[in-house]
Amino acid sequence: MAIKPITDTLRILQGGLFLDDCSEKLAEAVKAVDETGKAGKVTITLDLKKSGGALAISAKVTNKAPEAKPDEDLLWPTIEGNLSLDNPNQRKLDLQIAPSRPSEVRSVDPTTGEIVVKSA
């Protein structure tokens, strides 16, 4: 009798849920490695012990996915020792929202070549 592939055994552990868990842990590690560029690791541990005439198998999967670097905030120090979102050495611009105009749709009449304007 030939040796079965390990995936056959993993598929029957924990009613098939163990292999699903392995797939999820692998996917998490793959995404984290792709996002961070750092190394990751997936470990499958099978503890076997004799239990009467059978073997008791305790299966565990873990991943060591690299953690994403937290986002940084760029803040400016003020003379008073506070932090500000705005650079205190730059002038403030008096930006305002432009008033909206009524929109119109322009199209060309294919028979006359005339531009037709419709209000939307």
Contact 63, 25 (CB under 8 A): yes
Max CA separation in the chain (angstroms): 94
DSSP code, position 98: P
Instruction: Write out the two tokens for 82.
Output: 């506070």
Taking only the tens of pLDDT, the chain with its 120 residues reads: 788 889 999 999 999 999 999 999 999 999 999 988 999 999 999 999 998 889 899 999 999 988 877 777 887 887 788 778 888 888 888 889 988 877 788 889 889 989 888 876
The predicted pLDDT at position 120 comes to 62
Query: Distance between CA 16 and CA 27 in Å, rounded?
Result: 17
Q: How far apart are the first and last CA of the chain?
A: 77
Q: pTM of the full predicted structure?
A: 0.56
